[in-house]
Amino acid sequence: MPALLEVEDLHAYYGESHVLQGISLAVPKGEVVALMGRNGAGKTTTMRAIVGLVTPRRGAVRFAGRPLAGLRTYEIAQGGVALVPETRGIFPSLTVLENLTVAARGAGPWTLRRVFETFPRLEQRRKNLGGQLSGGEQQMLSIARALMTHPELLMLDEPGEGLAPIIVQDIHRILANLKDEGVTMLLVEKSFAFATSLADTVYVIGKGQVRWQGPAEGLKAAEDVKSTWLGV
Amino acid sequence: MELVNFLGIQLLNALWLSALLFMLAVGLSVVFGLLDVLNLAHCTLYMIGAYIGFTIANWLGSYWLALAVAPVAVTVVGAVLYVALLRRLRGNHLIQALVTFGLLFVGYDAARMIWGVDQFRMAEPALLSGSFPVFGQGYPVYRLFVFAVGLVTAVALYLGLERTRLGAVVRAGVDDRETAAVLGINIDRAFFIVFCIGTALAGFAGVLAAPIRTVEPGMDVEILIPALVVVVIGGPGSLKGAVLGALIIGTADTFGPVLLPEFSSFTMYAVMAAILLVRPQGLLPVKPAH
């Protein structure tokens, strides 16, 4: 059975700069896959290419067996791919509640009540404007909002970035729970412990190519990979 | 006492003119602020609304039918214009200005070909045809009706923007288009609906104006300039800005000619210049300057 998400030989450019030089990866249903690598390795661009925010020059992306080439971003999202961007993308002039309901789509596992049970802090702040939230609350809202679209694939771009350790722990726990519930995830993460404790499979990306792939446990022992491509 | 009466009447005049300006400027402003389309032909749609309304009222004898049908017809015209032309000009204001300025001439000539050069005035509905005594004279009820409609429109638009899902989608799109798309929101469709609402309001304003202002070729250009000034001083894309700007320009355009007749053509621009000196981004811009 093919994986839920298949990325095949993806090439993308920013101007003249060849940022993705043939990325291939697969995210099987129900698994968590992590992309690791240094800044500028091409992790974010890979995610942006999957949702159509970057148009690849070559290669293919298939989701649930369907090629995504030529689809607009909102159509890809409606097809079941959700992205929690590194910048979080909270709408500052919408309330927390509106941020959630504006994304809500059709029937599915994620009701407002279930989201508030998962993120109690958001319920307390539901009437606040998005622009009034702390960084941690914004990250929670960004994840919660993505869940409101009932994604088959949840993509998270550095969910722990710039947050206090205690908040990072919170987010890690929430993602671990989601994993236990069978949510398929593609995770970009620089923190070695965060990524390897969640992921089933890790792809190490460096200079636009996949440099290593394998089970998260295997990466812990691959000292040369870590020192060359992760700087650990 | 006479002065009070005189100023009172002018104040009432300022109110209905402000209401009319608001209904035009809000469409112009939102289409410019949200869709990034500068549509100088917006007021041509207002003129078309007035003509279609006049024609319907003339044939079928019903003002209310005209008020209901003309905005729909104008919306169809506007939607075709948007899909066929305006949508393709996004992001280039100079080309937009040139093309829609051209449309202004097309509209002018089309109106002359269809309805001739005669001036028409539409009859106001019997229900609102009287006048009531105020400030020592009779004041037409219909003009107060126009003001009331403008007020209701402003409140309805505000509630629509703040309390409905479409309103939230539009605000989300203004905040961050890319994230909206990533969440599966078709922002182009939401903005198109907003364009249609703005267009319908232009047609609506045309019918409302038809019993007060003459229906003739060129009635669009006459109101385009003050409407543009309202957009500029209120802040493009801003609903509250359109309300405030319309009140200011409606007042300036009413009081200027009677208080300073020799400067009548200048008052509006003086007000605009004064405001822009202090607040170049407009009085109530969508995204406040930090």
A125-164 per-position pLDDT tens digit: 999 999 999 999 999 999 999 999 999 999 999 999 989 9
The residue-averaged pLDDT of B262-282 equals 88
Domain layout of chain B by residue ranges: 12-130+138-217
CA A213 to chain centre: 18
* Chain A interface disruption, residue of B179, B185, B287, most A CBs within 10 A: B179
* Chain B interface disruption, residue of A54, A74, A101, most B CBs within 10 A: A74
Contact criterion met (CB below 8 Å) for B203 and B47? no
In the structure, what pLDDT confidence band is assigned to residue A220 with cuts at 50, 70 and 90? confident
Tracing tokens 């993602």 back to the chain, one arrives at A175
Contact residues, chain A, for B186 at CB < 8 Å: 74
pLDDT at B74 over 50: yes
Three-state SS for chain B is CHHHHHHHHHHHHHHHHHHHHHHHHHHHHHHHHHHCCCCCCHHHHHHHHHHHHHHHHHHHCCHHHHHHHHHHHHHHHHHHHHHHCHHHHCCCHHHHHHHHHHHHHHHHHHHHHHHCCCCECCCCCHHHCCEEEECCEEEEHHHHHHHHHHHHHHHHHHHHHHHCHHHHHHHHHHHCHHHHHHCCCCHHHHHHHHHHHHHHHHHHHHHHHCCCCCECCCHHHHHHHHHHHHHHHHCCCCHHHHHHHHHHHHHHHHHHHHHCHHHCCCHHHHHHHHHHHHCCCCCCCCCCCC
pLDDT at B214 over 80: yes
- CB nearest A51 (choices: B169, B176, B182): B182
CB of A64 within 8 Å of a chain B CB? The answer is no
Task: List pLDDT tens digits, range B20-59.
Answer: 999 999 999 988 888 888 999 999 999 999 999 999 999 9
- Write down the mean pLDDT value for chain A: 93
User: Measured between alpha carbons, how far is A49 from A58 in angstroms, rounded to an integer?
Assistant: 11
Task: Judge: A102–B185 Cβ closer than 8 Å, yes or no.
Answer: yes
The residue-averaged pLDDT of A8-13 equals 94
pLDDT at B288 over 90: no
The residue-averaged pLDDT of A218-225 equals 84
Q: Is B156 exposed, middle or buried (0-12, 13-18, 19+ CB in 10 A)?
A: exposed
pLDDT at B289 over 70: no
Rounded percentage of chain B residues whose pLDDT exceeds 70: 99
Contact residues, chain B, for A72 at CB < 8 Å: 181
The pLDDT assigned to B136 comes to 86
Report ipTM (2 d.p.): 0.91
Instruction: Give percent helix, percent strand, percent coil of chain A, each to the nearest 5.
Output: 35, 25, 35
pLDDT at B290 over 70: no
